[in-house]
A and B are shown apart, each in its own frame.
Chain A
Amino acid sequence: MIAVVLSLLLLDQPPRAPAATATIRGRVMRTDGHPLPHATVRLTMAFGPIVNETTADEDGVFEFADVRPNQYRLAASKSGYVTLEFGQARASMRGEVVAVKDGETRERVDFVLPRHAAIAGRIGDENGDPVEGASVSVQQIRFANGRRQLAAVPGLNARRTNDLGRYRLFGLQPGDYVVAASVGQVGTDDLPGYATTFFPGTPNPAEAQLVRVGIAEDAFGVDFALTPVKTARIMGTTLTSTGEPFQGGIRMRASRRSATAGADVGAITRADGTFEFPNVPAGEYVLEGSKNNELGWQVVSVNGTDLEGVVVQTMPGSDISGRVTFEGAATPNRRRLELAAIPADSDFAGRGAAQADIHDDFTFHIGPVLGPRRLRLARAPAGWMLKAIRLDGQDVTDAVMAFGRPNQSLRDVEIVLTDVVTHLSGRVADSRGAPAADCTVIVFPVDEDRRYDGSRFFATVRPAQGGAIDLAGLPEGTYFVSAVDRLPEGSGISEDAWQDPELLERAARKAVRVTLQQGQTVSVTLRR
């Protein structure tokens, strides 16, 4: 009786709110071991907003008192230094979670901040006169959307040259950079007749010289002159699929055969459907015209001479229809099916992947589709995988097909699913044999023809806690499997950056070779 009463009394107590009694202390230092004074240290929830902020003292010492027991992350920052989270091992990863309990004092939450580097120099014209207001930026070679291109470094802003033609690009991590300078944009009148020029003074990105900066090692004297180029005008007409001219809706960008990912360029357009791109430097370009739902392309090669009479005619788009059939015991869940027509050439990608509408009876429809495309089963229900895509008895599973006009539409496409699924399973271990989970396992085809953008033969998987992996549904074929550094997350790095042909070639040399056949489960042991 008494025990029951006591337990009832205990149940009635309201839960105690955690008191704010923990303390977190640490020190911010430079890479040479000296204290870094007056850094800003921020205390944030492990997955959430900032809780508090303080400034470290002259010895780099900081303290957060009266902290509620919880899980946190800390970040230290200071102008001129790399901002780091506590316990951040690599630039692309987050730092450690700092958990504190009631009354606990957590010490030694220390930071070592490397200094940012800078690149400085002067931009002149071909006469040696300073150029003011030129936009100078650093770029790095990146692989994205199936092509290697120069792209801006995330988190860094371009700077403009001052009245002496001088610039200073700062906030750089150690590395190799391409320095690019440009005035205005192609298509505007801001000092026309100059191409984007790369240090040491060439408009050809392949000839650009990399500028190396180390930790706290600035690069000075990165001077170069803008290259005057003979620019040309591109003139033509935009027409709809029925031959009617239309105004506007025309833009131009560098073709993927050129190494730069330039910005889109604008044109002078007129009511009679004619357009004009002034000041275009030499190179290969793709002109894209769009009107309502129609889209069309034209590739031009510019070489200093004006181009006239370029016709860009839009297409209304094609339709793809058919049905999903399945070889297996049960019926798959229609809602877990995702089918799309994905672009096969980034120059003609239009509005991106075209998703299919899959109906209750497993018939489907995709449309309108424009440009060269492949059919791709982006997602299959658990326990199912794609066996083949068939059209008129032919296997078109990885075939590139052209779309755009109504007479290019396809009917009776058959998407065949099977419940006999391949499995690639295994373990990743480090050199001592202990499970390694802090990595990514990449899987890519041995056959280079199968390494196209968006290919179904590419896969990545992150090992579970014990280093175990299990990848279901890879298509039949021979693969390289390799465990690599955890792939970076975050803005600016595209998902498919690891598919850079050069990176794959290097990975292939140390990878395990695996052949998967229908329904097989193959096991691998990978060394990190």
Chain B
Amino acid sequence: MRRAASLFVLLGAAALHAQPPPPPPPPPHDALQTRPLTGTGTIRGRVIADDGDEPLRKARVVIGGPTSIPPGFTDDQGRFAFTKLPAGQYALTARKAGYAAAAFGSRHPGEPPMRIDLAAGGTVDGVDVRMMRGAAISGRLVDEFGEAIENAAVFAERVVRVAGRTSTTSQASTLSDDLGEYRLGGLPSGTYVVIARVARPPMITAAGGTIVFGGPDVARSRTYYPGVVALAAAQRIDVQTGEERSAVDFGVLAARALARLTLSFVDAKGNPTDAISTLSSGDSDAGGVTIGIPSMGTRTSTRVEPGTWMVYATGAAGVGISSVTIGSDDVAMTMALTKGGRISGRVIADGGHLPPGAAVEIEAQPSTVWMQPLLARGSIARTGSDGAFQLKDLLGARQLRVRSAPPGWLTKAILYDGRSLLDASIEFKGGEELSGVQVVLTDRHAELSGIVVDARQTPLQRYSVVVFPEDEQLLRDPRRLARLVRPNQAGQFRIDDLLPGTYCVAAVSDVDSSQWLNADYLARFRPIAIRIAVAESEKKNVVLSLVDTP
């Protein structure tokens, strides 16, 4: 801090006598180097208001597919057309002021959209997107004195639960104005929490452009409506299509009131050592916050909201993990850094060869879900040209997984000393070494496709198919093997990246997308699902009957 202060003095003195430098010339702006489209396919449709069926003009339609395509705008009849498209899979979204953004085939946020399969030279018509009027949540933010808070970042978030961890995804965001007022518009109907984030700036610009350096530190504070820190205590706000929910006013927690956490780092001999630290909130109810403290030093401090936090420090002397509970009083803690554990091994292809030059990313992911963003860096290794990899500085409970593989390749097995390490948690306390780990990838995956019919055998156009392994052991991390699929514009579905095995498959009209990816939710589908077994490289085609959502 002292070093920083003297730097400020120098800058302050120089600023008075220096002339403002001319602005640097902007770099040449070749922003739109898109290749002109050379395909022969066409996708056409209309954007319609859901209430009243009237066409919506000047709606912005964005199409995503095998190549980058500039957006289109609907005409006065609400029509759009994308031409010269190459063959492939597409998804389409429409936006218009006053309406909630809508994707083709998706009836509510979180529901995956329907795909459009376009053949070479083909035309897909009737890609109609219905837009519902957007709801809005508005209100006013005040500080502990009742005065307006300006420039706070305010978000409307949906609560979701994935693999047992509760967190939120942002649906809309805005900044509060000088009256403290905010408006979050264009919301699809649903349940939201409102959160305000205030960052105290380190510098304040006084009138005339002089800069006054301020604040001993940057303190962040987050508050959920109606004025609480924990997500669990946040009030859920239900809005219907087009509803105006106003007066969602609340007071923001003063950053000044937060307790200070001071960390000192020592090495194995007890001597002070430099480290960088990251904090992650242990309360899943807090919605999983990670704070990185960028300064490197033997001591660091920051203001932290109350709760249980995991601290991860890394430096020349090694790594350290500690848990700390913060209340309203300042806390000082010493962390001892030790040499972490190590995993080394090789990636091999099951009965074949990986494409030459392909790189695979292996991750020693923290087993506790909310710690994953905390330890993201340093936990990932890329294989070399011989397929070998090494992960170092590991501490805490970890799971080995393949983070990314060349397209078309899936993880078949992870073996160590004859045991499977898939979905298994390994505890590293300091210095453990696992060598000779084998990661087996396969490209001989299976495909499941087909249609869904109702009770009278009539094929359906809109549905969702849920697929997950029958073996409960394989569902410990559902993100690896569970799938949720929607049909394409012709009512057909296709999953092309299944590992051989037996799966529970169920076709339903709707799935709770805010929490489908959890073992306990999927378990509800077991009694109503049919069992389908797929072998290596098998392409299976089925006709599924629609069942009621459990």
B456 at the interface (CB under 8 A from A): no
Query: Which of B8, B174, B185 is A164 in contact with, Cβ under 8 Å?
Result: B185
Q: How far is the CA of A290 from the CA of B28 in the complex (A)?
A: 9
B239 at the interface (CB under 8 A from A): no
Residues of A within 8 A of B412 (CB): none
B33 at the interface (CB under 8 A from A): yes
Report whether B8 and A48 are in contact in the complex, using a CB–CB cutoff of 8 Å: yes
Interface residues of A in 69-101 (CB under 8 A from B): 75, 77-80, 82-85, 88, 90-94
Report whether B204 and A83 are in contact in the complex, using a CB–CB cutoff of 8 Å: yes
Report whether B185 and A85 are in contact in the complex, using a CB–CB cutoff of 8 Å: no
Residues of B within 8 A of A488 (CB): 208
B25 at the interface (CB under 8 A from A): yes
Q: How far is the CA of A165 from the CA of B136 in the complex (A)?
A: 13
Kindly provide the distance from the CB of B419 to the nearest chain A CB, expressed in whole angstroms.
55
Report whether A132 and B186 are in contact in the complex, using a CB–CB cutoff of 8 Å: yes
Residues of A within 8 A of B174 (CB): 162
- Contact pattern, A 478-499, Cβ under 8 Å of B = 1, otherwise 0: 0000000000111111110000
> Which of A248-256, A365-373, A432-440, A510-518 faces chain B?
A248-256
Residue of A nearest to B8 (CB): A49
Residues of A within 8 A of B16 (CB): 47, 489
A50 at the interface (CB under 8 A from B): yes
- Contact pattern, A 161-190, Cβ under 8 Å of B = 1, otherwise 0: 011110010110100000000000001111
Report whether A80 and B148 are in contact in the complex, using a CB–CB cutoff of 8 Å: yes
> Which of A14-22, A265-273, A333-341, A382-390 faces chain B?
A265-273
Residues of B within 8 A of A93 (CB): 208
Which of the listed residues A163, A191, A192, A494 has the most CB atoms from chain B within 10 Å of its own CB? A163
Query: At the interface, is chain B mostly helix, strand, loop or mixed?
Result: loop
A103 at the interface (CB under 8 A from B): no
Q: How far is the CA of A507 from the CA of B340 in the complex (A)?
A: 74
Report whether A130 and B147 are in contact in the complex, using a CB–CB cutoff of 8 Å: no
Q: How far is the CA of A290 from the CA of B25 in the complex (A)?
A: 13
Q: How far is the CA of A45 from the CA of B5 in the complex (A)?
A: 11
Q: How far is the CA of A489 from the CA of B16 in the complex (A)?
A: 9
Q: A163-B98, A164-B98, A165-B97 are in contact. Are A50 and B186 (CB under 8 A)?
A: no
Range class of the B interface residue count: 35 or more
Q: How far is the CA of A149 from the CA of B212 in the complex (A)?
A: 30
Q: How far is the CA of A215 from the CA of B307 in the complex (A)?
A: 45
Residues of B within 8 A of A132 (CB): 97-98, 185-186
Query: Which of A42, A125, A133, A495 is B20 in contact with, Cβ under 8 Å?
Result: A495
Q: A130-B97, A251-B28, A269-B30 are in contact. Are A163 and B206 (CB under 8 A)?
A: no
Query: Which of A53, A79, A129, A171 is B97 in contact with, Cβ under 8 Å?
Result: A129
Which of the listed residues B8, B16, B134 has the most CB atoms from chain A within 10 Å of its own CB? B8
Residues of B within 8 A of A48 (CB): 5, 8-9, 12-13
Report whether A491 and B20 are in contact in the complex, using a CB–CB cutoff of 8 Å: yes
Q: A50-B215, A189-B70 are in contact. Are A264 and B26 (CB under 8 A)?
A: yes
A351 at the interface (CB under 8 A from B): yes
B150 at the interface (CB under 8 A from A): yes
Q: A53-B215, A250-B28 are in contact. Are A37 and B178 (CB under 8 A)?
A: no
Query: Which of A50, A79, A352 is B178 in contact with, Cβ under 8 Å?
Result: A79
Q: A44-B213, A49-B5 are in contact. Are A94 and B185 (CB under 8 A)?
A: no
A127 at the interface (CB under 8 A from B): yes
A477 at the interface (CB under 8 A from B): no
B29 at the interface (CB under 8 A from A): yes
Query: Which of B8, B34, B98, B150 is A130 in contact with, Cβ under 8 Å?
Result: B98
Q: How far is the CA of A494 from the CA of B12 in the complex (A)?
A: 20
Residues of A within 8 A of B33 (CB): 268-269
Q: How far is the CA of A83 from the CA of B205 in the complex (A)?
A: 8
Residues of A within 8 A of B20 (CB): 490-491, 494-495
Residue of A nearest to B100 (CB): A163
- Contact pattern, A 113-146, Cβ under 8 Å of B = 1, otherwise 0: 0001010000001010111110000000000000
Interface residues of A in 236-268 (CB under 8 A from B): 248-251, 263-268
Query: Which of A85, A118, A131, A155 is B209 in contact with, Cβ under 8 Å?
Result: A155
Kindly provide the distance from the CB of A125 to the nearest chain B CB, expressed in whole angstroms.
7
Q: A38-B147, A85-B206, A191-B73 are in contact. Are A75 and B212 (CB under 8 A)?
A: yes
Query: Which of B25, B28, B143 is A248 in contact with, Cβ under 8 Å?
Result: B28
Q: How far is the CA of A290 from the CA of B223 in the complex (A)?
A: 51
Report whether A94 and B32 are in contact in the complex, using a CB–CB cutoff of 8 Å: no
Kindly provide the distance from the CB of A267 to the nearest chain B CB, expressed in whole angstroms.
7
A466 at the interface (CB under 8 A from B): no
Residue of A nearest to B176 (CB): A79
A154 at the interface (CB under 8 A from B): yes
Q: A50-B215, A168-B177, A264-B29 are in contact. Are A163 and B136 (CB under 8 A)?
A: yes
Report whether A42 and B60 are in contact in the complex, using a CB–CB cutoff of 8 Å: no
Residues of B within 8 A of A192 (CB): 73
Seen from chain B, the residues whose Cβ lies within 8 Å of a Cβ on chain A are 5, 8-9, 12-13, 16, 19-20, 22, 25-26, 28-34, 57-58, 60, 70-71, 73, 97-98, 134, 136, 143, 145, 147-150, 174-175, 177-180, 183, 185-186, 204-210, 212-215
Seen from chain A, the residues whose Cβ lies within 8 Å of a Cβ on chain B are 37-38, 42, 44-45, 47-50, 53, 75, 77-80, 82-85, 88, 90-94, 116, 118, 125, 127, 129-133, 154-155, 159, 162-165, 168, 170-171, 173, 187-192, 248-251, 263-269, 278, 290, 351-352, 488-495
Q: 26 interchain pairs (CB within 8 A)?
A: A45-B12, A49-B8, A53-B215, A78-B147, A79-B180, A88-B208, A93-B208, A116-B178, A129-B57, A129-B58, A130-B97, A132-B97, A155-B207, A163-B97, A164-B183, A173-B207, A187-B31, A188-B32, A189-B71, A249-B30, A250-B30, A263-B26, A489-B209, A490-B20, A490-B210, A492-B209
Given contacts A75-B212, A118-B177, 13 further A-B contacts (CB under 8 A): A47-B9, A49-B5, A80-B178, A83-B204, A129-B58, A154-B209, A155-B209, A162-B174, A170-B178, A191-B60, A251-B26, A266-B32, A267-B29
Q: What are the 7 tightest A-B residue pairs by CB atom distance, in nearest-first order?
A: A490-B209, A163-B185, A132-B97, A266-B29, A49-B8, A266-B31, A170-B178
